[in-house]
Amino acid sequence: IAAVDGLDTPSAVHAFLHIDAEGALETARAVDADRAAGVELPRLAGVPIGIKDVLVTQGLPTTAGSRILEGWIPPYDATVTRRVREARMPILGKTNMDEFAMGSSTEHSGYGPTHNPWDLERIPGGSGGGSAAALAAFEAPLTIGSDTGGSIRQPASVTATVGVKPTYGGVSRYGAIALASSLDQLGPCGRTVLDTALLHEVMGGHDVMDATSLDEPVPPVVDAALEGARMDLTGVRVGVVRELSGAEGGFQDGVKQRFEESLERLRGMGAEVVEVSCPSFEYALAAYYVILPSEASSNLAKFDSVRFGIRVEGATIERTMAATRAAGFGDEVKRRIILGTYALSAGYYDAYYGSAQKVRTLVQRDFDAAFAQCDVLVSPTTPTTPFKLGERIDDPLAMYLNDIATIPANLAGIPGMSLPAGLAPEDGLPVGFQILAPAREDARLYRIGAALE
Ligand code: GLN
């Protein structure tokens, strides 16, 4: 109860869009009462949590960071929300995000940006900047994020926290407001690898409500985290992805330095570090920015002024729809809808969407070849430490480039983790270390991550 007390105090970080102090306290009190009565409780009972506003929460406002959903209160829970409730975790509230999870800085939120607790002038990453900043500011011990191209891992990197994108299908997407359905994956965010594993266990597992949900148990992530903290890494082969490690330029010196130090520590624990090459990663970002807008333009068609959120009346229903979408969507969302509908239109489909899907296959093959030689692949999570708020807002390409190292994992559906790798010497800001594993081998991330931590 102490942990959720004083929640209503406004914070300069602005990690939360909505705070439910009453609801959280009610859950906390019920857990305390059951504990006092000797009732057996789930492992994380009473541990408060913040939920990214992309997940629907029955009775709690859900906007996905968009003005178009202002005032909408979902009549049902996402599967992950339900699992969090069943785990008896008090829900502190909904965390801020770029509108519909499009962005790398949380500046595209319809409700104002989140600030990085390490330096309030800097971005907390995105799209899940709120979930990461809440952890770094000690406003929540655990949060949930969604990762379509890096929105869990990149915010973790720039706030010195831990974030995991599970294998595609490992966590149900039912009730998660879709950005790009073939890339989206929900995942846990925490301050330690073990905390993150404990939440992964609550969130994961098969769900009949999601047709892409893997029909198998949650990987043994908690055991792996415990094992990683105890055992050395003899026999583990770690592949440094040449194309993602800054060898080709564009990476900040301090990022490269901390990355090299992490490799040294892995070697010190007995791991063998080798270099691997994934040549088609050069085209991954371009392919992603065709596939994502294409899927997003289709997913966002449901915001039509009739079913959810705001409504701006026009003379005809078409005009009402157009006026509502014009008023409700922000610039980045409009940019991507236009890009996506263009890429999918007759005559251009093969040239853009078709080519992008071919690149996607090549990226998957590159990963297969690399994992044939290594147990895990590693890279810096982001090329730079957090940049200043406002610095890239008018330059979409510079903003997109921040995701260069995180996007390939989404194209291939494999799991990835970002964990802190120290502060860059030149600016004293957080650097992230990324670990990638083959599909369904999420446990490896936790083993190596816990060993490094
Ligand atoms: N920053 C990336 C984008 O803008 C990733 C977003 C995400 O993972 N939701 O698309």
For the chain, give every domain's residue range. 2-284+354-452
Using left for φ > 0, alpha for ψ between -120 and 50, and beta otherwise, residue 305 falls in left
pLDDT for residue 401: 83
189: β partners: 143, 163
What is the pTM (predicted TM-score) of this model?
0.97
- Complete edge-to-edge strand list for the sheet that includes strand 272-276: 16-19, 91-95, 49-52, 142-146, 186-190, 162-165, 416-423, 430-436, 376-380, 237-241, 272-276
Kindly state the DSSP code that residue 58 receives in the 8-state scheme: T
Closest listed residue to residue 155, CA positions, set 134, 137, 135, 132: 132
Determine whether the shortest distance from the Cβ of 149 to ligand 1 is under 6 A.
yes
Please report the atom of ligand 1 found closest to the CA of residue 101.
Answer: 9
Strand 49-52 vs strand 91-95: parallel, antiparallel, or unpaired? parallel
The SS3 of residue 4 is helix
How far is residue 204's CA from residue 201's CA, in Å, rounded to a whole number?
A: 6
Determine whether the shortest distance from the Cβ of 339 to ligand 1 is under 6 A.
no
Contact 221, 443 (CB under 8 A): yes
Contact 98, 127 (CB under 8 A): yes
Closest listed residue to residue 301, CA positions, set 327, 332, 333, 346: 333
How far is residue 261's CA from residue 343's CA, in Å, rounded to a whole number?
A: 42
**Cα of 146 from ligand 1 centre, angstroms:** 9
pLDDT tens series, the chain, 453 aa: 445 555 666 689 999 999 999 999 999 999 999 999 999 999 999 999 999 999 999 999 999 999 999 999 999 999 999 999 999 999 999 999 999 999 999 999 999 999 999 999 999 999 999 999 999 999 999 999 999 999 999 999 999 999 999 999 999 999 999 999 999 999 999 999 999 999 999 999 999 999 999 999 999 999 999 999 998 999 999 999 999 987 667 899 999 999 999 999 999 999 999 999 999 999 999 999 999 999 999 999 999 999 888 999 999 999 999 999 999 999 999 999 999 999 999 889 889 999 999 999 999 999 999 999 999 999 999 999 999 999 999 888 888 888 999 999 999 999 999 999 999 999 999 999 999 999 999 999 999 999 999
Residue nearest to ligand 1 atom 5, measured at CA: 149
Could you tell me the fold of the domain covering 2-284+354-452? Amidase signature (AS) enzymes (3.90.1300)
277 tagged catalytic:
no
Determine whether the shortest distance from the Cβ of 179 to ligand 1 is under 6 A.
yes
